[in-house]
Amino acid sequence: MPEQRRIGYRWNLRALMAKRNLWKTTELMPLLRSRGINLSESQVYRLVTATPERIPARTFAALCDILDCTPNDLFEPFVEMRAAATANAPRRSEDLGIQPGNPIAKRIRLVMPEDGE
């Protein structure tokens, strides 16, 4: 099995805003509106201060235009964790000794001794 990777990303909007001398989230709102992106104050605040899980492509493109940057400047993916596939786990149940129609657990019947003990 191939190596498993967990991918993370850095959201660099706040740093790019600072480079463009945009210090408040309210300064970003009219710039977005002029590009047809109408977000509330709280939405813009979350966009700037938190790492978004999803963002509409038009909003992403408008931010790149406003900040005169590329998507790679704004969104920076990185490998968060590398892990080998499960530790040599068998791929097939037959490799564990389990055969179809022959389960590991079997039903048993308890029989009491005839003398009542």
Let me know if residue 112 belongs to a domain. no
Question: What DSSP letter does each residue of 49-89 carry, written as one string?
Answer: HS--S---HHHHHHHHHHHT--HHHHEEEEEEEEEPSSTT-
| pTM for the predicted model, two decimal places | 0.65
Number of domains making up the chain: 1
Query: Which structural domain range is residue 63 located in?
Result: 4-83
Per-residue pLDDT tens for 68-88?
999 999 999 988 776 655 556
Q: How far apart are CA 117 and CA 114, in angstroms?
A: 8
Q: What is the CATH number of the domain that holds 22?
A: 1.10.260
Let me know if residue 106 belongs to a domain. no
What percent of the chain lies above the pLDDT cut of 70? 74
Let me know if residue 67 belongs to a domain. yes
SS3 category, 24: coil
Let me know if residue 94 belongs to a domain. no
pLDDT at residue 79, rounded to an integer: 84
